[in-house]
Amino acid sequence: MLSFDKKDSFVFFTYFASFAVIVPLSGLYLNNSGFDTKQIGIILGIATLTRVLGPYIFLFLAKIRKDLIGVGTIQCILLLVATILGGLFNNNVIAILALCLTNILWVSILPNLETVSLSYLKGDINRYSTIRMWGSIGFIFVSLWASYVIINFGSKFFWYILIVLSVLQIVSVSSLKNFGPFPVKENQRKIFRLERGLLGYYLVFFLFEMSHAPYNNFFSISLVEHGYSGLYVGSLIAFSVVCEIVTFAKGSVLLKYFDVNRILIFCAITAAIRWLLLEYYISNLFLLTFSQLLHSFTFALYHICAMHVLSRNATQDVLGLRQTTYTVFTMGIAAAIGSYLSGILWHNVLLNVSSFITVGVFSAIISLLLVIFIMISERKHKNTLNYYKIN
């Protein structure tokens, strides 16, 4: 029988292969379907906001069934139904509905996957990083050719690709059932309770995700507008994830030598630089490629830090709540607001800049200031661990 690490790696591989289609290519799919940038921003904002619904609903279901793997398999089956709905009907209203359902179900899977992984690994960030690295490999595997297929063969392939990936997710998630049901206890924390000591970090994570919204939604569209081919689009996205893989493989080592807040400050500064490069040098292939290299810091290293913070002093039940809240704040609310603002401010006449600046850079700067504030606040506590202690 394959080990947990290998099967869990396949789970992350299939999940983030879907990520490679849903996040960077939804805007391209809508653009090829005839929507303008403002409409795309509104549609993606609504579709992304619906992500808030899924995680808490399925966390509640997991508490009732006491089986994270069983609930995860149900989520994957429902995701397959949503993607089939989008692929079957040639109607914009149904396509938008299917996109909303896909976002609800797809995002709600992630907290369960993270909780199962970190619980089984007992918070071992080194093993987690190696497993999570396979998610990045799955992202590369799809992003190399998905954008090319959608651009050259039609927007319907957006759904056809997702249908295949949804089937693979069902297979991969259900394969973990032999390692236990991973029960969720009923008698611990309330589902919607927030921990005071983590509120500042949740806001930082919120701003980081908002900072990425213009990139996630309009990067591929911007490349096409500047004359890059579908192959270039896929290759540049894939290159960013290659850098991400290296960071996931080795990045956790930095936590042994640097305080997590200092790393987050570095990530925020790097993010601001990255969006500035995309704003002013997107036609320069060298600087454009360099900006993709920075993905290893603006996403991968940041994510390692986030998982490190959330796994501190956490039982499985508490970890499940934290992961759900993290997903709702970042991939739900922050991504929705960022998507909406990105569409509205994509070609901002008043400031003469795109949303790479108005949303991306500004969010990164605010997150930088907030991390500095958290770092100063923590220094006032004699024992930093008490700051995270669950009361």
Q: How confident is the model at residue 93 (pLDDT cuts 50, 70, 90)?
A: confident
With cut-offs at 50, 70 and 90, classify the pLDDT of residue 387. Answer: very low
> What's the pTM?
0.71
Mean pLDDT over each residue of the chain, to the nearest integer:
84
Q: How much is the pLDDT for 321?
A: 79
pLDDT in tens, 41-69: 888 888 878 888 787 788 778 777 777 78
Average pLDDT score over residue span 165-192: 72
pLDDT above 80 for 26: yes
State the Cα–Cα distance between residues 66 and 223, nearest whole angstrom. 46
Residue 353's SS3 state is: strand
Beta-carbon-side half-sphere exposure of residue 241 (alpha carbons within 13 Å) = 25
- Do 93 and 81 contact (CB within 8 A), yes or no? no
Q: What angle do CA 45, 48, 50 make, to 5 degrees?
A: 110
Domains, the chain, in order of start with CATH, read 4-177+193-388 (1.20.1250.20)
216-230 average pLDDT score:
84
pLDDT higher than threshold 50 for residue 146: yes
Instruction: List all residues 6 or more positions away from 279 whose beta carbon is below 8 Å from its beta carbon.
Output: 353, 354, 356, 357, 361
Angle at Cα 360 formed by Cα 368 and Cα 310, nearest 5°?
50
Of all residues in the chain, what percent carry a pLDDT higher than 90? 29
Largest CA distance in the chain: 61
pLDDT of residue 194: 60
